[in-house]
Homo-oligomer: A and B are copies of this chain.
Amino acid sequence: MKNLVFGVDIGGTNTAFGLVDEVGDIYAESVIPTKKYLTFDDYPAFVKDLCEAMIRLKDSLSFEFELLGIGIGAPNGNFHRGSIELPANLWKFRPDEKNPDESRRMFNLADDMKKYFPSTPILLTNDANAATIGEMVYGNAKGMKDFVMITLGTGLGSGFVANGEMIYGHDGFAGEFGHTIVETRDGRKCGCGRSGCLEAYVSATGIKRTAFELMAKMTEPSELRDISFEDFDASMISAAAEKGDPIALETFRYTGEMLGRALANAVVVTSPQAVFLFGGLAKAGKFIFEPTKWYMEENMLNIFKNKVQVLPSGIEGKNAAILGSAALIWQKQN
């Protein structure tokens, strides 16, 4: 009988889930709109609707299989506790709730799903850690014991593997390179409430901020100058760079400088064999990889020079998040 696992990716907009086998083939997938369950009070309905949709998907398969487990990737997911803790964009208090106690926003999703899947192992971690394990199980990190994964989405997520094991740390939140402070003077405000975090420079929102800063600083003409901040999308910078747009090219150089410097610091701490770049910004190819590698080497401690590869993810594609979450379970099987 075939063995399958559920991979579940909880995002701010949608929650995608699918049934995945050991080699990464997805047999069925579906989605529910996370953003429909906007408030703290909607969370129980989210759990119910998600689980019922998963059971329907499971029952829709026309062959017999064993469900080995459910792997979940979620923002602020805590592996140790199976919970989603104080997520920035999920299940917030309603604006009319007076002085709500923020500490109540700890969602024990793995426990809460047990009602629907009483005998199925459920593991949960944050979305970047899920991508990291996905890279190890299905992607370009197969066989590597020490590597760093950087996921470039709206924010900058990351995870690292050492001695062949995902590093969660005491609190379950290790590997948050996106919230290392890289600019101590007049750093950009970050969504976390502090200033100067790497994520405020290297992410879809970070690179957009850089493009606008450079439009103010530089005098060169650029097609980017025709687009308002609200209408601006990070992918427009790649399109402009392809045509040699000077602002777009300088935007990538600066972004690569910030990322390369941060990776040089990440390398002395974790001594990885490779660093993988995953997600939207990584799709800009040479525009982001070349300056990143150059500045990483330029800032590298001697003993690490020319030793650490910067590579594209091998699980890039629309199902990467489902694969990564499923890999949480598969990794435990092996």
State in angstroms the CA–CA spacing of A76 and B174 once bound together: 26
A55 to chain B, nearest CB (A): 33
Q: Which of A22-30, A261-269, A320-328 interfaces with chain B?
A: A261-269
Copies of this protein, total? 2
Q: Is the CB of A171 within 8 A of B304?
A: yes
The interface residues of chain B lying within 8 Å CB-to-CB of A301 are 176, 179, 192, 194
Tell yes or no: A58 within 8 A of B by CB.
Answer: no
With contacts A174-B162, A174-B271, A261-B184 known, is A86 near B303, CB below 8 A? yes
Q: Is the CB of B264 within 8 A of A176?
A: no
Q: Which of B170, B194, B269 contacts A174 (CB 8 A)?
A: B269
State in angstroms the CA–CA spacing of A313 and B115 once bound together: 46
Chain B residue, CB-CB nearest to A144: B170
The interface residues of chain B lying within 8 Å CB-to-CB of A180 are 265, 268-269
Tell yes or no: A213 within 8 A of B by CB.
Answer: no
Chain B residue, CB-CB nearest to A174: B271
Tell yes or no: A62 within 8 A of B by CB.
Answer: no
A190 to chain B, nearest CB (A): 9
The interface residues of chain B lying within 8 Å CB-to-CB of A173 are 268, 271, 303-304
Task: Tell me the chain A residues, 61-110 only, with Cβ under 8 Å from chain B.
Answer: 76, 85-86
Q: Is the CB of A171 within 8 A of B271?
A: yes
The interface residues of chain B lying within 8 Å CB-to-CB of A179 are 268, 301
Contact with B along A137-152 (1 / 0, CB 8 A): 0000000111100000
The interface residues of chain B lying within 8 Å CB-to-CB of A269 are 160, 174-177, 180, 266, 269-270
State in angstroms the CA–CA spacing of A269 and B173 once bound together: 8
Q: Which residues of A contact B (CB under 8 A)?
A: 76, 85-86, 144-147, 160, 162-163, 165, 167-177, 179-185, 192-194, 261, 264-266, 268-273, 299, 301-304, 307
9 A-B pairs with the lowest CB-CB distances in the bound complex, closest first: A169-B271, A174-B271, A146-B170, A170-B273, A176-B268, A180-B265, A171-B271, A162-B167, A179-B301
Q: Could you show 14 A-B contacts with beta carbons less than 8 Å apart? A: A85-B303, A147-B170, A162-B165, A165-B165, A170-B271, A171-B271, A172-B271, A174-B270, A180-B265, A183-B184, A185-B185, A193-B302, A194-B299, A269-B270
Q: Given contacts A86-B303, A173-B304, A266-B269, could you give 16 more A-B pairs where the C-beta distance is less than 8 Å?
A: A76-B303, A162-B169, A162-B174, A168-B271, A169-B272, A171-B304, A172-B271, A174-B269, A176-B301, A177-B268, A179-B268, A180-B269, A182-B184, A184-B261, A193-B302, A194-B301
